[in-house]
Amino acid sequence: MRNIASLVLYSYRSRTKALCKNKNSKRAREYIDAAPCLNQYKQRLSRCIEITANKIGAIQSRPNNLKFPHLCCENLQFQRCVDKIPAGNCKQKIMVFAESAQSIMNGFIDRSCGEYNSETDRCDQLDPINTSESNKSSSKPSFIRNVAQLISSIE
């Protein structure tokens, strides 16, 4: 599982490096074009990321057989949170950011989620994640670090 965590971090770094290197690429231009909208809605986006990062951090205390299902479901919840942002004309540009954030995980998570997806009610059957313990930290939660730590914790 540590190899998967390394893969997540590598994927994130590679994606960021490629965007910065190829500033004239279509994807980089989409990011640059989205910047004013992302800045306008950054508090709401940050809240979605913070909620998801906290919940992913709290999943580590779940039994191993429930960690991936919860991770899959929190990935869906992140998308729902972003979808609820009333962004008007900025909606499409915000989705560029959200899809990129999710794509870091989606490569291996989608293959592991099975029935824990938006097409079923399996996520509704999982016990809710309590984040009160993980909220005691004074620093902002890290989405990427929490995913990597969660995957590393699976035995």
Residue with tokens 């191993």: 64
129 DSSP assignment: P
User: What is the torsional sign of CA 52, 79, 27, 104?
Assistant: positive
Distance CA 138, CA 75 (A): 24
Residue with tokens 């190899």: 3
Q: Calculate what percentage of the chain has a pLDDT beyond 70.
A: 75
pLDDT for 15 equals 73
Tokens coding 155: 């035995």
The total domain count for the chain is 1
User: Model pTM?
Assistant: 0.73
In Å, how far are 101, 104, 126, 148, 151 from 59, measured between CA atoms? 19, 18, 12, 12, 10
For the segment 46-93, what is each residue's pLDDT rounded down to a tens digit? 898 889 889 988 998 899 889 889 988 988 898 899 889 888 888 888
Is 149's pLDDT higher than 80?
no
Is 145's pLDDT higher than 50?
yes
For the segment 15-35, what is each residue's pLDDT rounded down to a tens digit? 778 777 887 888 888 888 888
Q: Which residues contact 22 (CB under 8 A, 6 or more apart)?
A: 28
For 110, the domain range is 2-153
